Amino acid sequence: MSNKRAGVFVGSLRRGSYCKSIAKFVSSLAPNNFKMDMIDLSKLAMYNQDLDDDGNPPKEWTEFRAKVKPLDGCLFVTPEYNRSVPAVLKNALDVGSRPYGKNAWDGKAGGIISVSPGSLGAFGANHHLRQPMAFLNILMLQQPEAYIGNVASILNEKGEITSESTRQFLKNYMDAFVKWVDTISDMK
Amino acid sequence: MSNKRAGVFVGSLRRGSYCKSIAKFVSSLAPNNFKMDMIDLSKLAMYNQDLDDDGNPPKEWTEFRAKVKPLDGCLFVTPEYNRSVPAVLKNALDVGSRPYGKNAWDGKAGGIISVSPGSLGAFGANHHLRQPMAFLNILMLQQPEAYIGNVASILNEKGEITSESTRQFLKNYMDAFVKWVDTISDMK
Amino acid sequence: MSNKRAGVFVGSLRRGSYCKSIAKFVSSLAPNNFKMDMIDLSKLAMYNQDLDDDGNPPKEWTEFRAKVKPLDGCLFVTPEYNRSVPAVLKNALDVGSRPYGKNAWDGKAGGIISVSPGSLGAFGANHHLRQPMAFLNILMLQQPEAYIGNVASILNEKGEITSESTRQFLKNYMDAFVKWVDTISDMK
Amino acid sequence: MSNKRAGVFVGSLRRGSYCKSIAKFVSSLAPNNFKMDMIDLSKLAMYNQDLDDDGNPPKEWTEFRAKVKPLDGCLFVTPEYNRSVPAVLKNALDVGSRPYGKNAWDGKAGGIISVSPGSLGAFGANHHLRQPMAFLNILMLQQPEAYIGNVASILNEKGEITSESTRQFLKNYMDAFVKWVDTISDMK
């Protein structure tokens, strides 16, 4: 297996974001030849096609697109807001998909971990996030599905995962994700 | 029927937004005792719970919540971005739903018109938008469904609707929406 | 409030169906002037338009449509199969919606209780089931949402609910459902 | 590329099914070393777990599972019923996924073509069908998406496709599907 690189996209801006804790842990599990880059979404202005059409898009958009383009894989770690995807994550997808004909996500391998303080595991966010992937041509890992519910109970105050079964589950998840990125990037 | 008021929420920030044209037309159809307010979403910062928790939310959030609160109905006019809802509209839903326990949308009557330059009528945006409504307790008008496809072909350069059948369809839609707002607001 | 009648539609054919237990309990909670009819779905042949077009539909279809038609409300109690709605329930919706132009569900008040032995509460079934409701014009109760997870742990071997908090939750649900059926049926 | 085999699953039982016409055409496009088997769904009894638990499942279920098991790819050609998947197709997914622990779909490559006499292209069926795929571990081709709208206008009375652009689109679709099946089956 050659060197691969995945971006990690977190759908929460909170300082103490549970998703960031989970994202940090899974990033630490990547093998040596597999780089995981946490990609900041907080500076992306809300998508407005005029800014592209006027030929002067925000430099944060341009930089974001340039970061997404060379990736082999994309790992989305998302909370659920009101039974669906947080706007910050949907906006990142939209910014990266444009301008028309220059979809930066095209052909990448994708994975989703959804995270919730409640028991439903952010199912609504997890599956709503999959619908744009068809259009964006992000090829999705299916199993294992990753719904991390009751997340507050498995993190300590430093944001470290204290549940051994969750740690093991996430290790298995990362094994599958790494293999998936490898398969899809070699296909291109 | 007593006086009623609905907010109109448009999911596109483009100057020449097709959705704005459709929203403007349907607003003009409201009967005398039914007020339609176009509500600006462009100034709302991306939702971040820290800003509420710190006790100093952006004044645009506070103003937005105060505008939503007294409404009887909410009409969403949305384009589709990558088979789902534009971030600007999802963000508005999220901002209005918070802080925890103060959901400004609670118990209102809702309607959706989805608008697309393509033939699929923004089906993906229309139905993804319905999923949060269950949690937000926005009671949804079901019929007629409103998928406005090939929208560029029915607007002139001033953004006026030139298709008589679309004008008639939207009149029927507004009749149903007004009746629905009346039913739901009298239930409370 | 005048007399009202709701049908109860259960999406599982198993003898020991958890959904049937839940359906039975909520049916027992209806007030005196509100009738709840458990409607059998097990005899409905898979929908095939030819059978309607040939003018000789199965008598089980005809009887089912005749049972749905006079209802004021429809309560769906559904398990999740493979992250979506069981075929038996989708088939019932399809049979009741036809022949073209004779949608028996039109204008009724609807509610959904989703039931699962796992923790995710059959979220996928609950929300997939809502999408057809727009087309069928079943007006949906939104709150409270009802996701009954870990259901095996709250039923005894007779299928009775042993959890007081679940019993109370379902009482609150039925109060809201009864009020909703009343509102929607008086609107017609 | 070694020999591969895909099953074709059609979600309509109508004699004159548009989906069958489309399925027939795309099957004819498969290269020599790629076999496409039309798999009959009409005899599958509605899923009821009791029949598996009692140890005597219908022989049509057993035969169906045995047909699905050796496939490399699965192509679903589906109409839309009431904004979602027809029961006959959802039932086939459910029957093939059971008994527990013996999911016959596991690890296969999947594709969806949705077909509609209307303009919306059966978007609702196309995307609802994708949600179970995560659980079933059917790895999905994303692009090109295939929404065949206004289908009656592109078929002659023998069910042959008369539109050259649709024929070309479906050729491109099959090229992508064949390549996808190859990638996924070599991954195992």
Domain A4-187 in CATH 3.90.180.10: no
Mutate to test the interface with B, among C97, C142, C147 (most CBs of B within 10 A): C142
CA distance A82 to A84: 6
**D125 HSE (CA, 13 A, CB side):** 32
**CB atoms inside a 10 Å sphere around CB D89:** 25
pLDDT of residue B165: 97
A187 neighbourhood in chain D, CB within 8 Å: 179, 183
The residues spanned by each domain of chain A are: 4-187
One digit per residue, the tens of pLDDT, for chain C of length 188 reads: 679 999 999 999 999 999 999 999 999 999 999 999 999 999 999 999 999 999 999 999 999 999 999 999 999 999 999 999 999 999 999 999 999 999 999 999 999 999 999 999 999 999 999 999 999 999 999 999 999 999 999 999 999 999 999 999 999 999 999 999 999 998 87
Q: Residues, chain C, total?
A: 188
Residues of B in contact with C183 (CB under 8 A): 183-184, 187
| Predicted pLDDT at D21 | 98
- Mean pLDDT for A86-104 is 98
Identify residue B78 by its one-letter amino acid code. Answer: T
Residues of chain D with pLDDT under 50: none
What is the pLDDT at residue D1?
A: 61
Residue C177: phi and psi, rounded to 5, are -65, -45
Of B131, B137, B184, the CB nearest to C143: B137
Phi, psi of A123 (to 5 degrees): -55, -45
pLDDT tens per residue across span B129-175: 999 999 999 999 999 999 999 999 999 999 999 999 999 999 999 99
Residue percentage of chain A with pLDDT more than 90? 97
Convert the pLDDT of each residue in A167-182 to its tens digit.
999 999 999 999 999 9
The confidence score (pLDDT) of residue B2 equals 77
Could you give the angle at which helices D164-187 and D18-28 cross, rounded to 10 degrees?
70
Q: Which of C181, C119, C112, C177 minimizes the C-alpha distance to C146?
A: C112
Identify the helix (H) or strand (E) that includes residue A74.
strand A73-78
C-beta atoms of D147 and B120 within 8 A: yes
CB contacts, 8 Å: C140 with chain B: 134, 139-140, 142
User: Cis omega before residue A57 (within 30°)?
Assistant: no
**Neighbouring chains to B with at least 3 Cβ pairs closer than 8 Å:** A, C, D
> Is C128 close to D13, i.e. CB distance below 8 A?
no
Is the distance from CB of D9 to CB of D41 less than 8 angstroms?
yes
Count of other CB atoms within 10 angstroms of residue A55: 7
Q: In chain D, which residues touch C (CB < 8 A)?
A: 13-15, 42, 46-50, 81-88, 90-91, 93-94, 97, 124, 128, 131-132, 134-136
Q: Cis omega before residue A79 (within 30°)?
A: no
Query: In the structure, what pLDDT confidence band is assigned to residue B104 with cuts at 50, 70 and 90?
Result: very high
List chain B residues with CB under 8 Å of A131: 83-84, 124, 128
- E strand intervals along D64-129: 73-78, 109-115
Give pLDDT tens digits for A138-155.
999 999 999 999 999 999
The model carries a pTM of 0.97
Q: What pLDDT was estimated at residue C109?
A: 98
What is the rounded distance in angstroms from the CA atom of residue C130 to the CA atom of residue B142?
A: 11
The yes-or-no verdict on residue B188 having pLDDT over 80 is: no
Q: How many interchain CB pairs under 8 A, B with C?
A: 49
